[in-house]
Each structure stands twice: as structure tokens, then as C-alpha cells.
Amino acid sequence: MVSRATNIQHHPVESATDPRANRPRSKKKLQALLVTADDALWPQVGAVVSSDVVLKHIDSIEQLVASIEPGHAGVVIWDARGETDYAAQLGRIQQHSARIAVVALDVPATQSQWTRLAQQNQIVSLVPIPFTAQTFNEAMNRAHDEVHTRVALLGTHDAQPAAHGPPPSKGSRMPLMIGAGVLVLAVATAIGVYEFTRSSPTAEHAALVPVLKGEPVAAAPAAHRNGGEDSVDALLEKAAQAMLDRRYIDPADNSALSYYHSVLTFDANNAEAKQGLDRLAELLLSKAQTALDQQHFDSAIQALEIARSINRNDSRLQSLDARLAKMRSELGSSLIQAAIDAGNFDRAATLIDEATHAKALTPGQLAQLREDLRRRHDESDVDRLIKTAQARVQQDHLIDPANDSAAHYFTLARKAGSASPALSEAIRDFGQHLMLAARSAIDQHRLGDADRLLSEAQSCDVPPAAIAELQRAVAAQRSELAGEKREQQRLLDLVKSRLAQGSVLEPEQDSAEFYLNSLKTADPQNAALPELSRSVQAQIVARAGSLFDQGHVAEAKSTLQSALKLGGSAEANALAEKISQAAPPASRATAALILLKPIAPKYPPDAASSGTQGWVDLAFTVEPNGHTSDIRVENAAPRYVFDRAAMDALYSARYQPIPKDQPQEPRDAKLRLTFKLNK
């Protein structure tokens, strides 16, 4: 290929109206290298690239590697159309510098192949050709942030030989990628918040679940006590901000590592937290590699052990451990102490045994390390139990489920023998939540739950007087419910008695229908209601049928309306059809309705005692004989307070019958009854 002069394009500052100027936050100018042999692609990229990028054009990967120094930091935009071995070329780029983030350009048909490479962290993203300005600059934003993250973690230059010097040793080569593609930073123009993309979780994260697997993990921050901040979403936002601020592992209670662990305490399968930890492990392993190359052993050991606590099965650990093993005599107790600090207690015990057999440390040093390991192991167990219990409190899993509740984890913490102030304070807080939950259970008539909650509260430093007060409330509630049960049984017996007597509709307030409606109001969930309703309805339908057979069509229709209020049935529907065919609908009579005596509803005692006033709008039918039927509440204020009193009063109302010489047709009417207290 004929080499040509490198194209360089500097973009002017964009106006406020340029959509490309809407970046999540200000960034320093960054060099982007467009690798393409297509002269037509250069102006297309130049037309859409953002103003904070200095764009250079290079013909090929070979020219790229030859023209930049090892350890170079920047973005490579690679036109990969026609390439047959993507992985090999990407490997060349990453071997040359781990500070390069790659954005690939290719035809859409290759999407599946690039997806796999992105999952393997070899590219930041793929931009299909042809592309839009938005798609291209979103990918550049992600690559830009990826480069800044790598530079912050790895420093500004690799400890590598010159490009034409001898090849680096196997142990000193940087990993191919340190997490590009796992973290996608989405532009949020209003708040500048970045979210992590979601990918399928890996099995290694099962080791991060505290208590359930019993595996050591790095300490998570103490649970907060204001429920809004304790939500998983809030913790994920804090973790994302910590990543942006490069608070990866420090400070211990305000780092991305601690927040992601807290999320998994709430939700052991949270994909975003697992991806965040994957990201951290990638960064820490790369940091360990670089620190070893630069002989910064303390920093390398710390990063390595924390990465191990996240994913102990990472294939790169073995080679890094092998490098450290060769210099174990120089490291002394540092390697063991780092394993203890990271919570890798099994590994720390193994290292102590190896040091004992090799006589690499003095007996005094070994004794001190064993004591530190035992103490930290015990503290870690109790700490995990406390934090898991506090998470369950925030989730309102106080006593259920039995093996994953706050009560369960506090019991385990007590058995661990801890008398720490942190445990005592957490148990006191748990006791307060138990008392609040018990009060709520009493209000909702869940008295069995209230008993269990109060029983648990007795072991949580709750004052006995407070528990006794709620226990009295439970007893009073039980007594009240027992009285309600007796009343419900009385109504049930009365329905059955009136059915046996054939008194289904009369007397109006001493009939089977009346007591059935009363039972529905008192106990809507009563198991006997469906069968009783069918029995009452059957008798009413039988009476309506008898009236119809005797030629009393209007009365049969009115009686049938009472049956239909109890629900549909084949018999009721069939009779309604017969009545409809026998007496075709006619226009309702419009003659004036004359009330024979004033309607005087009874004021409900509860409303009277509370000073409540209101009204009820009723729709009803006046039969030719002056009786009312088919009474319905159309509106009321307040609802359900005066409805029954208004309906009962209207049932008792009597209008002047229609004279015999006029059409005997029912008439529709509406009425508002007002309930006011005399002051």
C-alpha cells in the first residue's frame, strides 16, 4: 500500500445550537485515530466527530502500531470492513497499549461477531456503517470515558520497551483489555448520570452472596436507616458515581466496591451490581499487572487480592500468583496480610501454612498473623450477618421467610458470640421495626402475625411495658372480633330460619333477604354466602313465577327484580324473558306521583355522634299500587354512610295508586334525601 501523509482535522468550537455540543460533562481534548484505507470514510467521520476530539487518519493497523508509542492513551476508530481476523488485530493494538479504547466500524451483517468481541472486552462498541451523528458520538463518549478511566488507573505510561526493542516477557504483558464494553456510559443531559449496561451474570458471583454461601467478601458499608437511601436504585446510583469519581475501593464505606456489595446484600441476583464488580475486577487485575511491572508490590498485592475476592476463578490470577511466588521472601508477610484485608480468609490460611513449612517467617510473625486471621474472620462473619439482617429489615422481611429474614440473621449473629456495639444497636433498631409492624398487623386484624412479631421483639431490647401494651391491644382486638363472629353467626342463623319459614321478602326488616344483605355487609367473605344467596334467590324466583302464572305480570316483574339483585341465574333469566314477552315494554306513565306521607329516614347513630351530614340520590320505580321497587343509589355524599338508611326509608314510602281507569304501568322516579342535624 502506498503511504500517504497523515490527515489531521481540528474542529472549531461548536455553537450552542449544535446537537453534538450536548456532552455529559466537559473533557480535555483527546486524540482519536481513524484507521481506514477508505478515503471516502474520512470526511464522513470528520463531519460528525465531536469538538473535543483531535482526529487523525492512519491507513492500517501496521501503521498505527509503528506511529504511536507503547502505552499511548487514546481512541482508535477502526474501519474493520473486509477484515477476516478481528481478534488478532485487536490483540496487536492492546498488546501495544492497554490505554487504547477501540470503536469498530463495520457493516450491520457482522453484528453477531462483534457482540461476542464486546462481551470479551476487546472493543468498546460497534458502530454499523452507515452511521448517524448520534450513534457515532455516543460510541465516542463511551470510548472517551474508557480511556480516562484507564489512564487514572494505570498511570500515564506503560513500563514497556520501545517499539523496536526486544519483545516483552510473557509475565510483563498487559491483558488484552481491562473491561472495555462492560461499562456503557449513557449521556444524561440533565443530570449527567451514567448507567451500566446489563449482560448475563456469571456463576462466580454466587460467592459474593453473604451468609448464603459462607464465602469471604470485602466489607460492605453499614446499612443506612432512611429507607429511601437504602433502595437498590439509590445504592446503584452511588456506585455509578463512585466509579465516575474513581473511588473504586477507597474509602471503605464510600467506594464502588462497597456499594455494589451492599446491592447484592439486598438482591443477590442484581445483574447491574454483578457487572459493576466484573468491571472492578478487570480494572484491579490490570492495576496489579502494571504495579508488578513497576515493582510497586504493596499496590499490586492489594489490587490482586481484592480482585480475587470478586472473582476467584479468573484465569489471570494464576500467572500473577506465580510471579509473586518467586519473590515471596522479599514480600514477607505482606501477601498474607493483603489476603486477610481483602477477606480471602481461606487463601490467607493456606499462605500461613506454606510460610510455616518454608520457615519464611518467624514464629512470632506467624502467631500474630494467625490471631489476626481468626479475629478478622470472626468479625467478618458477624459483620456480614448484621448487614444482611439490616437489608432484610429495609425490605420488610422481619420474620419471614424463616431462613432469609432479619430475625434469622440476627439469631445467627447472636450465636456467633458477638457482643459488639454494632450488633446491639442493630438489634435495638430491629426491635423498633418489629413494634411498628406489630401495630400495623393489629390494625389489619392479623393477630397471629402480631403475636409472632411481639414474641420476637421480646429478645430485642424492647421495653416490656411497650410490648405489654400491644399485647393488650391484641387481646382487645380478639375480643372484638369474637363479638363480630357471634353477630355474623346470628345473622346466618336468621337467614336460614326465615328461609325455612318462607319469609324471603316480608317483613321488610325481618326477612331472609334483609338478613342476607346484613350478613354481606358484616362479613363479605363469609363462606356460606354463595349457597345462601342461591337459596334465597330460588325462593324469590319461585314466588315471581307463581305471580306470573296467576296473571299478575307487574308484581311478578317487581318481585323478580329482588331476585336479580342477588346475581344472575338460569331460572331468573328465563322468567325475565317470559315476562318480557308477555308484557312488551311500554312507555312509563308520566302522571304526577303523589306521596301519601312524608319520607322520614332514620339518622344513622354513628353519623349522628360524629356530626356527619350528607345526602343520597335514589332512582326507583313506583308500582301501580303505590309501592316502591328497584331502588338504587345513584350518588351520595359521603358514600356508604347514609345509603342504607335512605333505601330503607324509601322502601317504606307509599305513593297514591294509579286509578283503575288508567293504564296500570309502573313509573320511574328519582329523589334526593338530605340528612342534616338539628343545631
Domain total in the chain: 5
Whether 264 and 321 map to the same domain: the answer is: yes
pLDDT of residue 644: 94
Q: Which of 350, 291, 356, 279 is nearest to 323 (CA)?
A: 291
Query: In this predicted model, which residue has the larger pLDDT, 154 or 435?
Result: 435
pLDDT of residue 120: 64
pLDDT of residue 263: 87
Q: How many CB atoms lie within 10 A of CB 460?
A: 19
pLDDT of residue 180: 33
Judged against a pLDDT cut of 60, whether residue 210 lies above it is answered with no
User: If you average pLDDT over residues 320-341, what whole number do you get?
Assistant: 77
Whether 24 and 146 map to the same domain: the answer is: yes
pLDDT of residue 198: 32
Whether 250 and 355 map to the same domain: the answer is: yes
Q: Is residue 173 part of a domain?
A: no
Contact 328, 297 (CB under 8 A): no
User: If you average pLDDT over residues 197-201, what whole number do you get?
Assistant: 32
Whether 210 and 334 map to the same domain: the answer is: yes
Judged against a pLDDT cut of 80, whether residue 287 lies above it is answered with yes
CA-based end-to-end distance of the chain: 105
Of all residues in the chain, the percent with pLDDT exceeding 90 is: 25
pLDDT of residue 448: 92
DSSP 172-226: GPPPS-SSTTT------TTT--------PPPGGGGGGSTTTS----PPPPPPPSS
User: If you average pLDDT over residues 518-536, what whole number do you get?
Assistant: 90
Q: Is residue 490 part of a domain?
A: no
Q: Which domain holds residue 545?
A: 497-582
Degrees to nearest 5, angle at CA 221 with 461 and 317: 135
pLDDT per position as a tens digit, 114-133: 887 886 678 988 999 988 88
pLDDT band at residue 295 under the 50/70/90 scheme = low
pLDDT of residue 590: 47
Q: Which of 246, 11, 301, 22 is nearest to 134 (CA)?
A: 22
Domain boundary among 138, 158, 178: 158
Q: Among positive and negative, which fits the CA dihedral 335, 336, 341, 342?
A: positive
DSSP 513-556: HHHHHHHHHH-TT-TTHHHHHHHHHHHHHHHHHHHHHTT-HHHH
152-156, 235-239, 360-364, 415-419: least confidently modelled range: 152-156
pLDDT of residue 472: 93
Query: What are φ and ψ of residue 503, in 5° steps?
Result: -90, 75
Whether 356 and 207 map to the same domain: the answer is: yes
pLDDT of residue 163: 36
User: If you average pLDDT over residues 194-210, what whole number do you get?
Assistant: 32
| CATH number of the structural domain spanning residue 652 | 3.30.2420.10
Q: Which of 99, 97, 101, 123 is nearest to 110 (CA)?
A: 123
pLDDT of residue 6: 38
| CATH number of the structural domain spanning residue 58 | 3.40.50.2300
Q: Is residue 186 part of a domain?
A: no
pLDDT of residue 152: 66
Whether 211 and 334 map to the same domain: the answer is: yes
Degrees to nearest 5, angle at CA 405 with 402 and 411: 85
Find cell 453477531 and name the residue: 112
Query: In this predicted model, which residue has the larger pLDDT, 61 or 223?
Result: 61
Whether 95 and 242 map to the same domain: the answer is: no
Chain centre distance of CA 274: 15
- Pairing type for strands 53-58 and 7-9 reads antiparallel
492: its cell numbers? 346466618
Query: In this predicted model, which residue has the larger pLDDT, 326 or 344?
Result: 344
Whether 517 and 610 map to the same domain: the answer is: no
| Residue 622 parent element (H or E) | strand 614-622
pLDDT of residue 579: 87
Domain boundary among 453, 479, 505: 479
pLDDT per position as a tens digit, 169-189: 333 333 333 333 333 223 232
User: If you average pLDDT over residues 49-67, what whole number do you get?
Assistant: 84
User: If you average pLDDT over residues 429-446, what whole number do you get?
Assistant: 92
Q: Is residue 366 part of a domain?
A: no
Q: Which residues on adjacent β-strands are paired with residue 54?
A: 31
User: If you average pLDDT over residues 548-570, what whole number do you get?
Assistant: 85
Q: Which of 220, 217, 221, 198 is nearest to 209 (CA)?
A: 217
Compute the chain's Rg from CA coordinates.
40
pLDDT of residue 195: 32
pLDDT of residue 508: 82
pLDDT of residue 226: 40
DSSP 313-369: T-THHHHHHHHHHTTHHHHTTHHHHHHHHTT-HHHHHHHHHHHHHHT-S-HHHHHHH
pLDDT band at residue 418 under the 50/70/90 scheme = low
Q: How many CB atoms lie within 10 A of CB 61?
A: 19
d(CA 233, CA 394): 13
Query: In this predicted model, which residue has the larger pLDDT, 218 or 280?
Result: 280
Cβ neighbours for 535, distance < 8 A, ≥ 6 positions apart: 499
Q: Is residue 108 part of a domain?
A: yes
57: its cell numbers? 487518519
pLDDT band at residue 646 under the 50/70/90 scheme = very high
Whether 575 and 432 map to the same domain: the answer is: no
pLDDT band at residue 330 under the 50/70/90 scheme = low
**Mean pLDDT across the chain:** 78
User: If you average pLDDT over residues 451-468, what whole number do you get?
Assistant: 91
Q: What is the layout of strands, in order, in the sheet containing 125-128?
A: 7-9, 53-58, 30-35, 74-79, 100-106, 125-128
Whether 326 and 407 map to the same domain: the answer is: no
| Residue 674 parent element (H or E) | strand 667-675
pLDDT per position as a tens digit, 470-496: 999 999 988 888 888 898 899 999 999
Whether 506 and 621 map to the same domain: the answer is: no
pLDDT band at residue 309 under the 50/70/90 scheme = confident
User: If you average pLDDT over residues 572-597, what whole number do you get?
Assistant: 73
pLDDT of residue 433: 93
Judged against a pLDDT cut of 60, whether residue 388 lies above it is answered with yes
Do you find a cis peptide bond into 130, omega within 30 degrees of 0? yes
Q: Is residue 255 part of a domain?
A: yes
Whether 400 and 463 map to the same domain: the answer is: yes
Contact 157, 97 (CB under 8 A): no
Contact 473, 442 (CB under 8 A): yes
Q: Is residue 169 part of a domain?
A: no
- Which SS3 state, helix, strand or coil, does residue 620 take? strand
Domain boundary among 104, 138, 158: 158
pLDDT per position as a tens digit, 585-644: 444 544 578 899 889 899 999 999 999 999 999 999 999 999 999 999 999 999 889 999
DSSP 105-134: EE-GGGHHHHHHHHHTTS-SEEEESS--HH
pLDDT of residue 29: 61
Q: Is residue 609 part of a domain?
A: yes
